[in-house]
Structure 1
Amino acid sequence: MSVDTLRDLIPAYAKDISLNLGSLASETVLNDQQKWGCFLASAHAIGVAPVVKAIEAQAAAVLSPEALNAAKSAAAIMGMNNIYYRALHLMKNSEYTTIPARLRMNVLANPGVPKMDFELWSTAVSGINGCGACLDAHEGELRKHGVPATQVQAALRIGAVVHAASRIVASEAALAG
């Protein structure tokens, strides 16, 4: 499987999503590790089986085992953090922001890949999960380390398109099943 296989699963009504998948797979704003890590973290964040399988197959040809693991770790840790910190942000009672989270987040300190790659992947997943607090935190870290806005935007674009493709594939499977 590959992104091309995934594109074949997308019906004509969503041609724009298919075209965006193809252009993002050819994106050169990010290096291959950054790009395929964004794709993989995004796919795992959503968890639609055919999308995960197609993207993981293509990412495995580019990413080291450590990078594959780190991209999945970004999806996992952001799956927790995005819900927790989004809830704190949405709650009117700010007292909760003063209480330590007491959630394990060790992978953030040592993800096994360059920290800025992991931050890009976490940004893509945070966009998918809609956590403004996490988006601001990760984007701030990236910008502090000189990552240009075009690279941050590329990560967000990948997350958005993988999300759309996943929803389409899942809804078409629901119709077929």
Structure 2
Amino acid sequence: MGVDGIRAGLPGYARDIALNLGSTVENSLLTPAQSWGTALACAVAARNPVVLREIAAEAAGHLTPEAVDAAKGAATIMAMTNVYYRSKHMLGDEAYRTIPARLRMQIVARPGVAKVDFELWCLAVSAVNGCEVCLESHEKKLRAAGVGADQVNEALRIASVVYATAVAYDAESALA
């Protein structure tokens, strides 16, 4: 099925999402590895089985096995850190900002892919998960590494479309 099948399976009310899915993932300013890694990481974060399965299958043709693992690793590490840092931020008490996380995050230091790619995937997943603190942190790291605003924007576009695709599939599944 792949991305074309996902697009074809979207209901009429999600026509814009279907069109955007093709144009963002397949015609991105990012490298194919960055684009497909972003899509895969966001599909993991969005949690819809059909969207995840089909994006993973197609992404495997554009990513090394190490990159597939790194994209999935970006989604899972961000699942933990987005909850943790977003919660500390939302509490609004400075006392929490000085308390160390004491959470293992070794994959961030050694993701198995280019650090820029991993940071892009973490940024995109942080957008899906709505963590302002992590979005800002990853965006600063990317910009310091020479990644332009257009590339950051591409990752955000992919994140938004993959998430919207999962929402539509979830809605149709729940209503079936």
Secondary structure at the aligned position of 1:89 is classed as helix
Code of the residue aligned with 1:30 in structure 2: it is L
1:175 CA displacement: 0.9
2:158 corresponding residue in structure 1: 158
Code of the residue aligned with 2:94 in structure 1: it is S
2:100 corresponding residue in structure 1: 100
Code of the residue aligned with 1:73 in structure 2: it is G
1:95 CA displacement: 0.6
1:46 CA displacement: 1.3
Whole-angstrom CA distance in 2 between matches of 1:105 and 1:130:
19
Code of the residue aligned with 1:29 in structure 2: it is L
Whole-angstrom CA distance in 2 between matches of 1:15 and 1:61:
26
Q: TM-score, normalised by structure 1?
A: 0.98
Q: How many residues align?
A: 176
Q: TM-score, normalised by structure 2?
A: 0.98
1:174 corresponding residue in structure 2: 174
Tell me how large the CA RMSD over aligned residues is.
0.7
| Unaligned 5+ runs, structure 2 | none
1:144 corresponding residue in structure 2: 144
Q: Contact 2:28 / 2:154 at 8 angstroms: preserved in 1?
A: no
Code of the residue aligned with 1:150 in structure 2: it is D
**2:83 paired with 1:72:** no
Secondary structure at the aligned position of 2:174 is classed as helix
Secondary structure at the aligned position of 1:161 is classed as helix
C-alpha offsets along residues 53-88 of structure 1, whole Å, 9 cap, x if unaligned? 110011011100000000000000000000100011
Whole-angstrom CA distance in 2 between matches of 1:145 and 1:69:
23
C-alpha offsets along residues 151-172 of structure 1, whole Å, 9 cap, x if unaligned? 0000001000111000100110
Code of the residue aligned with 2:114 in structure 1: it is P
Whole-angstrom CA distance in 2 between matches of 1:50 and 1:156:
21
Instruction: Summarize the alignment of residues 5-154 of structure 1 with structure 2, pairs less than 5 Å apart.
Output: 5-154=5-154
Whole-angstrom CA distance in 2 between matches of 1:100 and 1:26:
40
